[in-house]
Structure 1
Amino acid sequence: MSNRKLNVFLPLLFAVVLALGMFLGHKMPGSNTGGATVFFTKPSKGPLQEVMDLIKAKYVDSLNTDDLQQEAIEGLLAHLDPHSIYIPPSQLQQVNEDLEGNFEGIGVEFNITADTVNVVSVLSGGPSEAAGVQTGDKILKVNDSLVAGNGITPDKIRKLLKGPAGSLVNATMLRQQKQIQIPIKRGIIPLYSIDASYMAAPGVGYIKISKFSATTFDEFLGAMRKLDKAGMKKLIIDVRQNPGGFLDAATRIADELLDDQRLILYTKGKDYPRTDYKTRRPGMFEKGGLAILTDEGSASASEILAGAIQDWDRGVIIGRRTFGKGLVQEQYDLDNGGALRLTVARYYIPSGRSIQKPYGNGHANYDDDIIDRYNHGEMVNKDSIKITDTVLYKTHEGRRVYGGGGITPDIFIPFDTSRFTPTLTAIYTRNTFSNFVYRYFTAHKDDFKQYKDAEAFAKTFQTSPELLNEFKEYAKKDSIPGLDRLSIHDETEIRTRLKAMLARQLWRTEGFYETVNATDPMVKKALEVLEKEPD
């Protein structure tokens, strides 16, 4: 009988409870403020957001609050490590493209001289080549936008040329004093991270890695297969001036060079549990002489690769102490279209050492580190290297290695300070080499058809006295000092650079490095060391 009564009154009880809940919810603080819950007020915005809201709503003058917010974010991050950064919406696409390994555009390299956009190089197999664009063409208009003679900047021309793959660019070009219309269908343009791969000597391959992007590992495998077919027994990997990039790209390359189940690195942070990265598969080059070239511009993923090779005594590190970045960042997208790249952990290489250099004295001090190294004499004398971590670290075979500020090379190669003569400094800073070589090449295209590839060019082309004199006359227009009394060193540098820049016109970075490396001290030392290694 009691159960029957409960069944009758149960719906009525639910109705009363529901009505009471709605009434109390309406009376609760925050119930009409858009809060997500009934019984709790919305979380506080915090003083930083409150101040921003008050400035936007009440301040006497109108302000660009986007700029204000960016400055506030950067001010906050200035109290963290130097690698936690804010990427504003205007820069995020370019930053991501660089690491993703491609963008959508027309596939040309250009420079701007005398307010004119010159096509310096046309990407082989790209949209512009298919449309008939040639090196030496001058871009006058992009669609309806005039780009000649109106103060055009590199950023402006890039925005005009980039766009969704498949869309059309109607370009007006000047070729041999005639205006021509060239419609170009945009496509996916690869951004290569392997700048060069070639046989530097019989049996010795060379690979230049400029960054570690999403495509680097696949590019590396392609380069290795090519060199393997050419008879590679020993290998030089050049990561000079490589700022790093994706951790995964570096660990996968290390996996190709080290035996299975070897620790490459581990990461650890306050809220980031230890994670070990080990080799997992049989690699393409686990045996054979190996040299890694480094300098003060080799950072992050470059240091992971060099450090793992050094700690396992797999190869020799040649060059100068690396940058010293041993922090792991994760990127978080923000509602405004920008992103926060936040440091979440440190990484440690197999010997247990951290590569990260000190940053407790502020960002300015950290940014001046490379200049301080130069002034201290470290760039020219290995004994001047300051070791900030005094803990004893040892490699797999028991050799002493150092932490707390980059990878110290096994073989030190000093920086060539003689490249800073007033004449050479002026030539480099005024872009005289690039501008002259572009003009010379476009005027003498047919003269270069006799060279079938970069190797033939590097072996047989010589910078003639006539070419050198023509360059000197051109350089005088840029007010370059000392051209009539060049030292032997300066003249040799100019001859070498002219040859390398001409090779770049023909075979891009592959041609440049194959040519310039013929006289490069680090490459020569690597070849000398590897020559003594057994096959």
Structure 2
Amino acid sequence: MRIALWFVTFFLLFTLTVSPGPTMAAKTDHFEALKRFSQVLDMVESYYVKPVTRKELIDNSIKGMIEQLDPHSTYLMPEDYKEMQEDTSGKFSGIGIEISMDQGRLTCVSPIEDTPADKAGMLPGDLILEINGESTQDMTLMDAVKRIRGKKGTTVNLLILHKESNKPEEVAIVRGTIPIVSVKTQSLEDGYLYLRLTKFHESTTKNMREKIAEYQKSHTLKGVVLDLRNNPGGLLGQAVSVSDTFIDNGIIVYIQGKDKANRKDFFAAKNSNEVKVPLVVLINAGSASASEIVAGALQDHKRALIVGERSFGKGSVQTIVPMADGSAIKLTTALYYTPNGRSIQAKGIEPDLKIPFVAPPKDEEKAMRERFTLREKDLSRHLENGDKSKKDKDLDAEKAKERLERDNQLRMALELVKSLPKLKQIK
């Protein structure tokens, strides 16, 4: 009975906080529902074939209630909440994959770049059918996360089905500590910077601005290719500040919940780090959440040309509510909208220029070509170039060339960012 009273107290406090006072009929319905819950709780506790504690029943009841709402709302046990906090700080143990529930199927949103999952060949849209031989059919999202994560050096076996395949394949992935380097750069050509964001962590904007400033010390910045492909998102505040780096004023994104009066707008502000050069943004089906906020804001402000494939479409806002026992509730409370009022949810961001990714030749074909390509540097006892700075530049240029050769979307993005000033003059 004490549990039932606790639920009554919680429910009344919650109702008074978030909604107008209920009518007497509504109050009666609430009490009837709580009475029914208490009866079921007592019945299971008394007659279920195996011993089960009241705490387990309550935890599972809350878990079931929250997780039936949508794929992103969930009940976080204390250890789950702690892991989630470690994740957003930029370091955790596992295989480096963002997963979601799509129509009851465990789906890979995106493998995080340079992690065990990425190196094992996992792709956005992969269905995870089994984890260590156990079917994921009736598994909750948090249960799946628990089973996939584990101590560094241990192995998790996944049965996956690629999007374009008819036959599942088993992949053994060795877990590791995943330090997320969320910002990577490469000079594509003199003055044209490739800027890759792998996720939106606490220091992403700071690191990104530092990388841009560092590049500008040795180059006159002429254009930026911002790569958000396979970026599963992260912190809202970082999405806003990344966008603010390229937008000088106006709305970046707004969120709208059940109550239309509680709309919250996020604005750009003039800052000394603002980048005004031509900008092309790359997105694909693995670009989700915070990535879509950035792409949508830049597109609506006509600040960038969006190139690639339609994004994932995760446009809902989750609020974390910590509980007294160390657990937390992750609850969907609002939807994201672009500056022009477009909802991202289940629609994603459509690129201005649709260019499907074409996979490069297989590694063995490339290796065969390189095997029969002879250069001075390949000759035994060849003379070294004494100019270290030149060697560094040559190495950087070689890396850029290789990156462009294997990425048709990036090649197009570079040509477009170089052409944008001329296209604006035509207009």
TM-score normalised by length of structure 2: 0.60
2:417 matched residue in structure 1: 530
How far off is 1:226 after superposition? 1.3
Larger C-alpha radius of gyration, 1 or 2? 1
- On the 8 A contact 1:259/1:283 being kept in 2, the answer is no
- Identify which of 393, 413, 416 aligns with 2:358: 416
Q: What is the alpha-carbon distance in structure 2 between the residues aligned to residue 205 and residue 227 of structure 1?
A: 8
- Identify which of 157, 169, 180 aligns with 2:151: 157
Residues 237-274 of structure 1, C-alpha deviations (whole Å, 9 max, x = no match): 111111111111011111110123x1111111114701
Report SS of the residue matched to 1:62: coil
1:30-41 superposed matches below 5 A: none
- On the 8 A contact 1:236/1:291 being kept in 2, the answer is yes
Q: Match of 1:412, as an amino acid?
A: K
Q: Match of 2:194, as an amino acid?
A: Y
Q: What is the alpha-carbon distance in structure 2 between the residues aligned to residue 238 and residue 345 of structure 1?
A: 27
Report SS of the residue matched to 1:257: coil
1:97 matched residue in structure 2: 86
Q: What is the alpha-carbon distance in structure 2 between the residues aligned to residue 154 and residue 324 of structure 1?
A: 24
- Identify which of 238, 263, 266 aligns with 1:249: 238
1:124-523 superposed matches below 5 A: 157-158=151-152, 191-231=179-219, 232-260=221-249, 262-271=250-259, 273-282=262-271, 284-357=273-346, 405-416=347-358, 456-457=394-395, 459=397, 516-523=403-410
How far off is 1:75 after superposition? 3.4
Residues 364-416 of structure 1, C-alpha deviations (whole Å, 9 max, x = no match): xxxxxxxxxxxxxxxxxxxxxxxxxxxxxxxxxxxxxxxxx011001111133
Q: What is the alpha-carbon distance in structure 2 between the residues aligned to residue 210 and residue 236 of structure 1?
A: 14
Residues 75-133 of structure 1, C-alpha deviations (whole Å, 9 max, x = no match): 32354232212333333322211112246x9xxx9xxxxxxxxxx99xxxxxxxxxxxx
Q: 1:521 to 1:304 in 2, by over 3 A?
A: same
Q: 1:459 to 1:314 in 2, by over 3 A?
A: closer
Q: 1:154 to 1:355 in 2, by over 3 A?
A: closer
Matched, 1:84 2:69: no
Q: 1:324 to 1:89 in 2, by over 3 A?
A: same
Q: What is the alpha-carbon distance in structure 2 between the residues aligned to residue 285 and residue 514 of structure 1?
A: 28
How far off is 1:330 after superposition? 0.4
Q: Match of 1:531, as an amino acid?
A: K
% identical equivalent positions: 32
Q: What is the alpha-carbon distance in structure 2 between the residues aligned to residue 34 and residue 333 of structure 1?
A: 17
| Number of residues of Structure 1 aligned to a counterpart in Structure 2 | 303
Structure 2 gaps of 5+ residues are: 10-29, 97-113, 116-146, 155-176, 365-383, 423-427
Q: What is the alpha-carbon distance in structure 2 between the residues aligned to residue 347 and residue 35 of structure 1?
A: 32
- On the 8 A contact 2:187/2:397 being kept in 1, the answer is no
How far off is 1:223 after superposition? 1.4
Report SS of the residue matched to 2:187: strand
Q: Match of 1:276, as an amino acid?
A: D
Q: What is the alpha-carbon distance in structure 2 between the residues aligned to residue 514 and residue 83 of structure 1?
A: 40
Q: What is the alpha-carbon distance in structure 1 between the residues aligned to residue 210 and residue 194 of structure 2?
A: 13
- On the 8 A contact 1:196/1:514 being kept in 2, the answer is no
Q: Match of 2:414, as an amino acid?
A: L
Q: 1:154 to 1:85 in 2, by over 3 A?
A: closer
Q: 1:526 to 1:85 in 2, by over 3 A?
A: same
How far off is 1:342 after superposition? 0.5
- On the 8 A contact 1:297/1:322 being kept in 2, the answer is yes
Q: What is the alpha-carbon distance in structure 2 between the residues aligned to residue 36 and residue 529 of structure 1?
A: 61
What value does the CA root-mean-square deviation take over the aligned residues? 4.2
Q: What is the alpha-carbon distance in structure 2 between the residues aligned to residue 240 and residue 75 of structure 1?
A: 33
Report SS of the residue matched to 1:343: strand
Structure 1 gaps of 5+ residues are: 1-29, 38-42, 110-119, 122-152, 161-188, 358-404, 428-449, 461-510
Q: What is the alpha-carbon distance in structure 1 between the residues aligned to residue 153 and residue 35 of structure 2?
A: 38
- On the 8 A contact 2:358/2:408 being kept in 1, the answer is no
Q: What is the alpha-carbon distance in structure 2 between the residues aligned to residue 459 and residue 332 of structure 1?
A: 49
Q: What is the alpha-carbon distance in structure 2 between the residues aligned to residue 34 and residue 246 of structure 1?
A: 34
- On the 8 A contact 2:284/2:309 being kept in 1, the answer is yes
